[in-house]
Structure 1
Amino acid sequence: MSMRRKLTEKLQERTALLEKAEGLLKEGKREDYRAEMEKVRNMNADIDDLKGLIAEQDRKFMEKAPDLAEEKDKAEERGNALMKGQEVKFTALEVSKALFLPRAAAEKSVTLATGTLAQPTGAGTNIRDPLGNGVGAIIDQVYVQDLTGMSSYLEPYVISEFDATGGDVATNAGKARTASGDPTFGVAKIAPYELTTTSYVDKNISRLTPGNYYAKVFAMAMRAMRRDTVKMIFNGDGQASNNDMYGIKTATNMAGSAIYATLNVDAVDADLLTDLMFAYGGDEELGGNCRLYLNKKDLQALGKLRGTNEKRRLFDIVPDAGNPNTGIIRDGGVIVPYSISSSLTALSTADASSAAVPTMVYGDPTNYELGLFGEYTVRVDESVKAVERMLTILGDAMVGGNLIVDKGFVVATVPQST
């Protein structure tokens, strides 16, 4: 039995135990509930061991130096298949390697992409990207799992722990101790959601050799997938109810409770960053790995804030030279890492006249889990835009996601105006 199959079975067993424990708790059978949760905790150790082994196998795969001859043959084979209109499939591990590489490698892998709906007019060696065609950095920062073969995936997390109680030794001697109360748990569900990507390119691209043709098509498909996935990481799948893929701003557990925290805000002002920082985490901590994700308009609004002398900026914004999508904001002696994304609503222009508006978010990106459910299929269609002499690149995948840490992000929300 493969390690992945064994892990899948263990996860399914844990899911059944969690559902049973939840039912017992609702029935008020606390002793039976504790017994089932003890089984879950014991099983978690086995699951962690299997995850560690699979992660090490995946790491070796990701770090494996490519065999150039083998890669060339594979590119030629896949390029010929695409030219004939056939489907080409990529495993979840291959997709992970292409989508979630360290920034420098990822940048190299997508330099030939044009992104969704961009229409180049030739088939030169390089197809230049327009400005503003970037992809939000959060996709390189979230926690990613290969969930191939699973119909869904449940991540249990702690909502509250129990507290210890104390007392005088002589007074408590021979007496039953006061119960500390039960810890409370939540379960975040990660279910597959169909993601489709569509890109167009001039038909002259077919004049390239099969290997180069494949490289261009693959890069475009991955770039489109990255962009659409970023939107869903923030906003979910857009369904009015019963989301399959949850975003940071829509993250909900199986009991229907929000997994994110909210902070009511009304404007981009001098206290905004401080309020977000202190709204995150518990009474004993501040977020050590947190980032601010915001619309570019809000970053501009922060940069325009001035002190009492109207000359000195309140915040110093320093973009990352290697990736201008990210950078740091200096707020006195505090440094706040940031990433900009057009998928987030701008606080500075939000209209809350009819409903509350969630805007920027602040938190640790590894608190969000992105799951890849199986293969990613890419094919080229010549009929959709035949008159325009364009090829259509179609991609299909199953992805899912949710927050897996209670209050793992703070969402800055403009309350509905009265």
Structure 2
Amino acid sequence: MKEKLLALLKLKEARMQELETKNKEAKDVVELRSINNEIKEINRDIAELRGMIEEIEETELNNETNIEKREQENIEEKRNALPVGGFNPLATYTKPDEERAEIEKKYEQRGQTLKDGKAVKFSTDEMPTFRAVSLGSGKLVNEDKYSRDINKTFNEVSGLIDKVHAVPLQGGESYSKAFEKSSGEGDYTTEDGEYHDADPEFDYVSIGKAKITAYTEITDEAKKLPNIQYQTLVRNSIEKSLRKKITKQIVLGAGGSNAITGIFNAPAKVIPVGDGEEVEISEIDKDTLDKIVFGYGGDEDVEGDAYLILNKLDLAKFAAIRGTDDKKLYKIELNGNTGTISSDDSFKVPFIINSGCPALSSTKTAADTLCMAYGKLEGYEMPVFSDIEVEESRDYKFKTGQIAYRGSVWIGGNVAMYKGFVRVKKITA
């Protein structure tokens, strides 16, 4: 099943490359619209295929952990039960299936390569849009004299990075995305008059690549880990640091050379700046959610499937708003980094916390500061131009027994949907 999905994914990605080339060369409006529609469908298919493959891989890895545990227990039982000079229990060891053995061999070699002080690459196929993947037992060390678990800190990575539209473009230099600004409108015409022009209006954004790097240090005691767990420890440490930076830049990125363009700094041709283009709020109150929701989208629809991106302090302010009966006005449903805001007599709005957003409710946030964004997350394009490359060094912290690692990835980002987000600006009361 997995092989078929991978083969189909490869075909979809190849077709995507063809369409991107045609998209740049297309001059006819009808052809451009047809290409864009197909690109949208293929992007949706690719996302679904990657999700299915990820679920299969996660199941395989979970099964791997259970198999390893059972196999080790069986070996120990047989070894304890054997008389001196008995047969080798490893001779009856049940080998894992070919695919699992291949994965194990790959990670074993990678862990050894890291220990040898050489650079390795972590494919984004293993970590779709940099999602963390658990391998093996997840234990830091295996010997009884060491603690077997790491106490994790609180989550420091906004889930926004997992919800925007990631596009795999390994080896690419830039990425152009066309978008529709408006459709044409008919008009009255006399019997022998010319037909009214009703051409749709298109534009595009060009997304260059930026280099994101991360540096971390790990105690040399970690070298005692088996190779598979060791490469996983290194990968997770670097990956988390890269994700932490990128997910904030999706909101705050300044754009330009070697920088991601964030929602707050999107080009004016994608998110216009002017009267009525931003929702202006002095404080969060009973009408704030209505202003944001109805301030987004076109004149004909109240758009669904949109997320409110905000600071945790502003979410707390929503939760604290009281009605005339002194009861909480907004109902907050929490699911870690995401959830919904609603009230008994109104709509339900999905939200996602991102600490890159300045808190509108904070007195330290100055007037005219953009604080929130509301819109369709698939309207933000995040092309991934490379795998994650990781190198180790033992020189810098040799005296203190630390191993240094540095990792890098080439990535881009920009809003690629016309008025795909409405931004919320703080103003003075």
The normalised TM-score by structure 1 is 0.78
Partner of 1:82: 114
Once the two structures are superposed, the pairs formed by residues 77-156 of structure 1 within 5 Å of their partners are 77-96=109-128, 99-100=130-131, 106=132, 108=134, 124-131=147-154, 133-156=155-178
In structure 2, the partner of 1:14 is 23
- 1:303-353 Cα deviation digits (max 9, x unpaired): 2222224x3111122212xxx222222223322222222121100115565
Offset at 1:62? 3.9
Local SS of the residue matching 2:279: strand
Looking at structure 2, the residues matched to 113 and 282 of structure 1 have their Cα atoms a distance apart, in angstroms, of: 52
2:201 aligned residue (172, 176, 184): 184
DSSP 3-state at the match of 1:93: coil
Whether the aligned pair in 2 keeps the contact of 1:123 and 1:208 (CA below 8 Å) is: no
- Find the residue that maps to 1:292 and give its secondary structure: strand
Q: Which residue of 1 aligns with 2:192?
A: 174
Flag structure 1 segments of 5+ consecutive residues without an equivalent.
22-35, 101-105, 115-121
1:328-347 correspondence runs (5 A): 328-333=340-345, 334-347=347-360
* Distance in structure 1 (CA, Å) of the matches to 2:139 and 2:205: 34
Q: Does 1:312 align with 2:364?
A: no
Question: Equivalents in 2 of 1:411, 1:110: separation in Å?
Answer: 43
For residues 181-219 of structure 1, the C-alpha deviation after alignment (integer angstroms, 9 at most, x for no partner) is 442222122211101112222221111111111111112
Are the structure 2 counterparts of residues 410 and 211 from structure 1 closer, same or farther at C-alpha, using a change threshold of 3 Å? same
> How many angstroms apart in 1 are the aligned matches of 2:120 and 2:257?
32
**Quick one: distance in 2 between partners of 1:176 and 1:396?**
58
- 2:211 matched to 1:194? yes
Secondary structure at 1:280 match in 2: coil
Q: Does 1:278 align with 2:297?
A: no
Shift of 1:249: 1.2
Matches within 5 A, 1:9-408: 10-17=19-26, 36-41=28-33, 43-44=35-36, 61-62=53-54, 64-65=56-57, 66=60, 67-96=99-128, 99-100=130-131, 106=132, 108=134, 124-131=147-154, 133-166=155-188, 172-177=190-195, 179-236=196-253, 238=254, 244-252=259-267, 261-309=277-325, 311-320=326-335, 324-333=336-345, 334-349=347-362, 351=364, 356-408=368-420
Q: Cα–Cα, structure 1 residues 107 and 356, in superposed 2: closer, same or farther, change >3 Å?
A: farther
Query: Do the aligned partners of residues 134 and 56 (structure 1) sit closer, same or farther apart at CA in structure 2, a change above 3 Å counting?
Result: closer
User: 2:246 aligns to what SS in structure 1?
Assistant: helix
Partner of 1:25: none
Which 10-residue stretch deviates more, 45-54 or 395-404?
Answer: 45-54
- Distance across 2 between alignment mates of 1:49 and 1:305: 41
CA 1:152/1:268 → structure 2, altered by over 3 Å: closer, same or farther? Answer: same
Deviations 1:4-32 (A, max 9, x none): 56643542343244xxx6xxxxxxxxxxx
TM-superposed CA distance for 1:261, in Å, is 4.8
Q: Secondary structure at the match of 1:249?
A: helix
Q: How many residues align?
A: 373
Contact 2:270 2:418 in 1 (8 A): no
CA separation of 1:192 and 1:258: change in aligned 2, threshold 3 A: farther
Hey, what's the Cα distance between the residues in 2 that align with 1:181 and 1:351? 49
- Identity score, percent: 26
Q: Matched residue of 1:185: which SS?
A: strand
Distance 1:274 1:123 in 2: 55
Letter in 1 for 2:293: M
Greater Cα shift, 75-84 or 3-12: 3-12
Give the conservation status (yes or no) of the 8 Å contact 1:190–1:244: no
Q: Is the 8 A contact 2:213 2:409 kept in 1?
A: yes
**Partner amino acid, structure 2, of 1:247:** G
Q: How far is the alpha carbon of 1:223 from its aligned partner?
A: 1.5
Aligned CA distance change for structure 1 residues 46 and 281 (closer, same or farther; 3 Å): closer
Task: Give the CA deviation at 1:150.
Answer: 2.1
What RMSD over aligned residues (CA atoms) do the two structures have, in Å?
A: 3.3
Q: How far is 1:113 from its partner?
A: 11
Q: CA deviation at 1:295?
A: 0.8
The alpha carbon displacement at 1:40 in A equals 3.0
5+ residue gaps, structure 2, are 1-9, 61-98
Structure number with greater Rg is: 2
1:113–1:340 Cα change, 3 Å:
farther
Post-superposition CA distance 1:14-68 (Å, at most 9, x none): 3244xxx6xxxxxxxxxxxxxx434434555675687688668756754554532
Q: 1:37 to 1:318 in 2, by over 3 A?
A: closer
For the structure 1 residues 379 and 274, does the alpha-carbon distance in structure 2 shift closer, same or farther, using more than 3 Å as the test? same
SS at match of 2:284: coil
